[in-house]
Structure 1
Amino acid sequence: MRSVLSRRTRITLAATTATLAAAVVGLNAAGSADASQTNSPVVATGNGPVQGLSVDGTSAFRGIPYAAAPVGNLRWRAPQAVRSWAGVRDATRYAPGCPQAAGIAPPGVLSEDCLYLNVSTANLHPVSKRPVLVWIHGGGLTADSGSNYDGTKLAKAGAVVVTINYRLGALGFLAHPALASRGGAAGNYGLMDQQAALRWVQRNIAQFGGDPHNVTIAGESAGGLSVLAHVTSRSSRGLFQKAIVESGAFALEQQSLAEAETFGKEFATKVGCADQSAACLRKVPVQTLVDNLDNLIPGAIDGAVLKESIGTALAAGRFNHVPILNGSNHDEEALFTLGGHVVSRGYNIPYTTPVTPENYEQNIATALRTTPTQAAAIAQAYPLNAFSSPDKAFGTLVGDATFACPAAQVDNWTNAHAYEFNDDTAPFLFAPAGTISVATHGSELWYLFDLPNAPFQQPLNAAQTKLADTMRADWVRFAATGNPWPTAGHGTVSYQLPAPTLSTDFAARHHCATFAQNLDKVK
């Protein structure tokens, strides 16, 4: 079995296509560096030329395949090389998103044939060598799509931006002994897809004005967790030079392969494959696979992509030592507590709602998997009379335990540049304006990308726009140099209105010592 992860794709173009590709390269080399000079830019890739479109002074190329469709016999296999094409491929429309449950899916078609990426660039000159930012979307590794993130503004700020799709849920992460037989992969197909996309970047991004030797991987939530996975993965070494982690430190302990395969066998029975055969699993309808996934954030120690848990590797110094920009938002759990769930240690956990003085400590024990004694000690650090409601107190402490303090641990382990997003006026992605006024999970995304498919479109005001311009400049500066704040001192940069400030009390404000004392470790 030949994988796109280990082979270089050969250019197999017809004579007329080769002539066109040479003409494109020649035009760029001649100095047509301004992407806005043409409404139909054409770029030669290793599999054939693609034609994009002009977007606000940049060039956008959408729906470029980076691996073969993982369908039929390729379901639950490592990503394979994509076939080359003759003629110019249309790259003006987004490709289908990967199968997922309703929620934050992109509009339009969902399909197993979903291994595509999108490029935004303001300079097509092959020698411009702009820093490359590869965006890995969040969504719990079960939802979302690269097409939900418009990289135009980041491209105008100076980066070549690549957003990717990757296999999700059971299709992306099911571990099962039958699938791993004969030396096959044991889960983590979605992470392997991300690696395949990074290899595509290595081969092709220079033609889009990017520097293949200056690639930053970036992601939010499960995308940030994916970034940490690649930081600790030996098989991702050399595919990137920098890493940005946004709210991604919430699940630093992964399942063992044995645990993941036990779940895989239970899942196979649930979807009608009591015989536990790979042949049966590859025939199960996609929607059945989507409908039967439980609430675990997927990913396992498969021995290939991940040889140990992310937190274990980071703590021991066994990771790819690249510059890291790492952060979290002021009140991460506010998003989740609106729905009566909390995200804790990689699970979506229901709790008794509303939170009351009577059930407060029991809810803490449930969410954080602590003893009653530990829960009581944690509750003392978050007295109910210090908050507007018990629900607010509970959400705050779970957010600190699950997002803020693990982020601080990652900072210490990796010597990362640390930030906190603190604009409590930020628009809320999933409810109308005024529903919530706090910087919660995902709030910073408005300040980096346009989000064309967000459920509620809420334009930034003048002060927020200024902060967003600052953040994009910092992200691009980090991608270019590895240092987002050349003049900042030691501490955590707080992105707040009217302007960012330097904070030195992050761990104290989030009670990280309390969790270190009352949890086996913050995970």
Structure 2
Amino acid sequence: MWQTGYLLGVLLVVCCVVAEMGVYVDIEEGRVLGKTIEFTEEEFANVSAKINTFKGIPYAEKPMRFSKPMPKQNWTEVFDATEFGHSCPQLIIPEFQGAVPYETDEDCLALNVYAPNQTEQKLPVMVFIHGGGYTTGSSMTPSFSGDEAASGNYGLLDQALALQWVRRNIEAFGGNSSMVTIFGESAGGSSVDMHVVSKGSHGLFDQAITESGQAVAFWNIREEFEMKKRQFAFQLGKLVNCSTTDSTELVECLRLVDAMVLEQTVAMNLIHMGPTIDGHFIDDYPRAITNRGEFKHCPMMIGFNRDEGSLVTKSLTTISGFTADLLEDAVKQEYVDWADAETPGYNYFHTIVSVYGDDEFSCPAILTARAHAMMTSQPVYLYHFTHVPEWSIFEINGTGPGWLGAGHAEEIPFVFGYPFLPELDGYHGPMTDEEKELSVKLIKYWTHFAWTGHPSSIMINGNITDGMNMTMDYMDPAEGMGMEDTMETNVTMEMIHELAWLPFTVPELYFKELGLMSHIKRGLKSDECAFWDGFKLDLQSYLVSMDQTELEWREEFEDWQDDLDDWRMSYQKYTQSPYCG
């Protein structure tokens, strides 16, 4: 049964109102008014529940642009939390116009809270951070000048302040402030992982789930962008008539520029934005922090989708980002199936999807899972989402590319229960009964992780290769987290693969393949990630050393030429001297 106590499960009820009434909650800042709604889905989820919903609760004052957020001051009147707050300023994506309400304002730091209408026990809390490449969905924040005038990471600091609010106030809504799981997708997943590697956030949550986004990914904090962040900031200033050489003057001027003008200028000029090494919230490259094991040691779920690279193929015409032909040739050697490469119609599309997906998503996820498995005593669970949906999340009103596969963000509708929201059929399309069952399964995995620190209600005792001598313990967290049933015989491999989820450990390397049929497998992307995290980095270092050697040789050669020129001039003077010969 789908437990109604799972906080994630109640996120899907927004559009399924049967009846509603007002509900009041007192938090530290004041009283808030929300709504109690009813949700019923008996065929697949087998749930009927009353849900308290609170929308747009501010956790910060209206932010001063390019500054750290300030906590919301107390209010005396009842705050009406029955309508969503503003989205942060951002460019409207034409494909999603109408799918998301784009009423934007810089006063956008607010939370939506969904909680079962019950008081029997304190429930675990799940806080979702959405994706959007640090540019859409929520307000973008350029790295900026990198000094005290504008050190950056304001978006991450906004999130940290929101997590502080959750710790202070969530028990008023029936949540357990000591059981907070943060989860996110894409840049949201990377944001979650940034909180895992930031010592400043370690006390603000207890568990983490990253979907298709890791702090160690090279697109998150890139060395070449770190070296140029001051250049990016002053470049933006020149483009919006804020030319100056002083950081403080630059920030003061940019605060007066219309927010949408800034958004458009950043987008049109491809100015980099995102997290940065500010010396406070993030004090080193996330990959270095991860390699040292200096991250929060907590239970984690980490995963990615099979065709992560398909979403960006429109903008890719070559394998770019490589500084030498030798490195590009190495990538081709690793990924091209040379047995069929000369066959007419060879699927180079699949090749480039794999190259981009592995480099940017798959291997950063596995690298992170390895670090947590080897350096902590806390469990880490790895998943690989492989289901190709009937309708892609990027097909709006039936229009879409049709070839994205199990692409980036395609798991989101299943995690959030879109199949049970008929009001969204025009956006994601009708889903099959099998997909509705998949959605229930993923909701159970995610919420069970929030309850217990592991995603499956089935615990395996024994060797996975010897099913008949294993036991499976079924645990129902809503029943006091005790064992409800134990099956000691006739444990089939099919039951194990579908119901259980083994932790990722080294050298076992177990992971869960998530699809209409789920399986336990091992060694996900082992060859590919050995290339990206081993051979490629070694080759890059070798090429850098070659460049350095060539540079040193050129400098020595130029010095030798200068010495030779001096000798020639001296010799010429000598031969022209009357004392010569």
TM-score exceeds 0.5: yes
Contact 1:405–1:522 under 8 Å retained in 2: no
Match of 1:512 in 2: 529
After TM superposition, the structure 1 stretch with the greater mean CA deviation from structure 2, 78-87 or 91-100, is 78-87
Which structure: larger Rg?
2
Match of 2:239 in 1: 270
1:52 aligns with one of 34, 51, 65 = 34
1:411 aligns with one of 369, 394, 408 = 369
Q: Distance in 2 between matches of 1:297 and 1:92?
A: 33
* 1:19-73 Cα distance to aligned partner (Å, 9 max, x none): xxxxxxxxxxxxxxxx999621211111111111233231211010000011xxx
Contact 2:146–2:278 under 8 Å retained in 1: no
Contact 1:132–1:479 under 8 Å retained in 2: yes
Match of 1:82 in 2: 72
Q: Does 1:323 align with 2:290?
A: no
Match of 1:43 in 2: 25
1:91 aligns with one of 75, 78, 81 = 81
Contact 2:57–2:111 under 8 Å retained in 1: yes
Q: CA 1:206 to 1:464, structure 2 compared with 1: closer, same or farther past 3 Å?
A: same
Q: Distance in 1 between matches of 2:237 and 2:282?
A: 23
1:241-280 equivalent positions in 2, closer than 5 A: 241-249=206-214, 250=217, 251=219, 253-255=221-223, 259-275=228-244, 276=246, 277=249, 278-280=251-253
Match of 1:438 in 2: 405
Task: Report SS of the residue matched to 1:292.
Answer: helix
Amino acid at match of 2:453: G
Match of 2:92 in 1: 102
Structure 2 runs not aligned, ≥5 long? 1-16, 40-49, 374-379, 461-500, 505-509, 541-581
Contact 1:406–1:522 under 8 Å retained in 2: no
* 1:151-179 Cα distance to aligned partner (Å, 9 max, x none): xxxxxxxxxxxxxxxxx22xx3442267x
Match of 1:61 in 2: 54
Match of 2:447 in 1: 476
Amino acid at match of 1:226: S
1:421 aligns with one of 370, 385, 398 = 385
Amino acid at match of 1:414: H
How many pairs are equivalent? 432
Q: Distance in 1 between matches of 2:424 and 2:231?
A: 37
1:288 aligns with one of 239, 261, 279 = 261
Q: Distance in 2 between matches of 1:47 and 1:456?
A: 37
Contact 2:123–2:175 under 8 Å retained in 1: yes
Q: Does 1:495 align with 2:514?
A: yes
Amino acid at match of 1:428: S
Amino acid at match of 1:298: G
Q: CA 1:450 to 1:522, structure 2 compared with 1: closer, same or farther past 3 Å?
A: farther
Amino acid at match of 2:518: P
Q: Distance in 2 between matches of 1:413 and 1:407?
A: 10
Match of 2:434 in 1: 463
When the two chains are superposed, the root-mean-square deviation of aligned CA atoms in Å is 2.6
Match of 2:106 in 1: 112
* 1:477-509 Cα distance to aligned partner (Å, 9 max, x none): 111111113333351101011x2111113124x
Residue 260 (structure 1) shift: 1.9
Contact 1:78–1:192 under 8 Å retained in 2: yes
Residue 319 (structure 1) shift: 0.8
Q: CA 1:138 to 1:426, structure 2 compared with 1: closer, same or farther past 3 Å?
A: farther
**TM-score (ref. length: structure 2):** 0.70
Q: Distance in 2 between matches of 1:302 and 1:129?
A: 37
Q: Does 1:223 align with 2:195?
A: no
Match of 1:372 in 2: 325
Residue 217 (structure 1) shift: 0.7
1:351-366 equivalent positions in 2, closer than 5 A: 351-352=316-317, 363-364=318-319, 366=320
Contact 1:332–1:441 under 8 Å retained in 2: yes
Q: Distance in 1 between matches of 2:401 and 2:55?
A: 34
**TM-score (ref. length: structure 1):** 0.77
Q: CA 1:306 to 1:437, structure 2 compared with 1: closer, same or farther past 3 Å?
A: closer
Q: Does 1:121 align with 2:115?
A: yes
Residue 455 (structure 1) shift: 8.1
Q: Distance in 2 between matches of 1:466 and 1:522?
A: 46
Residue 379 (structure 1) shift: 1.3
